[in-house]
Amino acid sequence: MRTTIIILTLLLSCLTGTHAQVTDKSPQLNFSNGLGIVTPDSTFSVNFRFRTQLRASYNTNSTSDFSASEIEARVRRLRLRMEGFVVNPKFNYYIQLSFSRGDMDWVDNDNSAVNSSPNVVRDAVFIYKPNSHLTFTFGQTKLPGNRQRVVSSGDLQFADRSIVNSTFNIDRDFGLQCSYQNNISGLNYVVKGAVSSGEGRNSVLSDAGLAYTGRVEILPFGKFTNKGDYFEGDLEREKTPKLSIAGGYHYNESAQRTAGTLGKDLYEKRNLSAVIVDVLFKYQGFALSAEYVTRDTKSPITVNSTGGERIIYAGVGNMAQMSYLFKNNFEIAARYAIVKPYSSINMEEPQKQEMGIGVTKYMRKHRVKFQGQLFYYKNDNLATNSTINDYFNALFQVEIGI
């Protein structure tokens, strides 16, 4: 991180110095949303932002034994992002880097030939906006998947996304995306599509199979205030009811990993498909969101020559969470989620459940906040109708950023 800061400082110094010699003017500075700089001739801009999540949590051995099975104390995320335009305001870029070990997918990388290095690069895209309705994106970034995944991890009302997301999300990939937004007789809608490699972020190799993703969002009561459909909690305290209903489909041809863009390497390639439906409602501090996600594939169990197995979690997930934000920016929230495997893998993969409550004190909306939560987790073997384990998790997190 220190090296990165030094490089960025030198870059800014060179940029500022070069244009000062040519135009004898200083670049324009903006501090409204991070640190923004625009060159005097308005041919280049960059906006710097950072954020970090400092976390401590405690897992019990079971619901009857409160002694510790695991204590987590770490920097969960440390991100640096840069965005702006080049040459023309229609030509934009977005770069996001991660620096904490817990944010680099080390566990999966240890078992993958597709991605064998730490994932420092989260996003790196070129964005073309020919008009206010249409946007083209080329590079590595999030696919248009379930709403909770495309919401930034810095804009969550709990410390982590749900088990539905962690099991079924389609994550980031490299490819071409297109987004179109407009309205018909006052009915706002957004249509998104993507064609990508299907191997996930920072892949070192790819096969001939591609991934295809589509998503449609309908906003019958108009747009949310300040893009409030892409952050959790009603921090804008919507003056009129706002609703977004969305559905999507993802198909990954010849996937090489257990979750398509994520996971360990499969012993045989598989075609994966996913269906996504989600809804979001906000009004006067109250927020309600829900998701339904399925993943399916033919023959989800792959086997190597020694009998080892790599399994695709084929099944169904449901999640619902609600919250209320008081006028002093103190929020209470609750969540329930369940993930159920199909019968073809219920001997190998568990049914997972989580339910919990959380409290958040927003100091500067999602940029500076204090979060505490208590969750109950349960894993069941549906084939034997038995409980594998159940336990509690208590967590405290501080998030700070610009």
Q: Where are the domains of the chain?
A: 44-401
Tell me what the mean pLDDT of segment 60-68 comes to.
Answer: 97
Query: Is 72:93 a contact under the CB 8 Å cutoff?
Result: no
Neighbours of 226 (CB within 10 A): 11
Query: Is 75:52 a contact under the CB 8 Å cutoff?
Result: yes
At residue 22, the pLDDT reads: 40
Instruction: Give 180-197 pLDDT, tens digit per residue.
Output: 999 998 899 999 999 999
Q: Give me 341's structure tokens.
A: 């495997």
Residues in CB range of 67: below 8 A, 6 or more apart = 60, 61
- Which fold, 44-401? Porin (2.40.160)
Instruction: Give 203-250 pLDDT, tens digit per residue.
Output: 888 889 999 999 999 999 999 999 999 999 999 999 999 999 999 999
Q: Measured between alpha carbons, how far is 174 from 366 in angstroms, rounded to an integer? A: 28
Q: Measured between alpha carbons, how far is 277 from 282 in angstroms, rounded to an integer? A: 17
Q: Give me 305's structure tokens.
A: 């020559």
**pTM of the prediction?**
0.90
Q: Measured between alpha carbons, how far is 64 from 391 in angstroms, rounded to an integer? A: 8
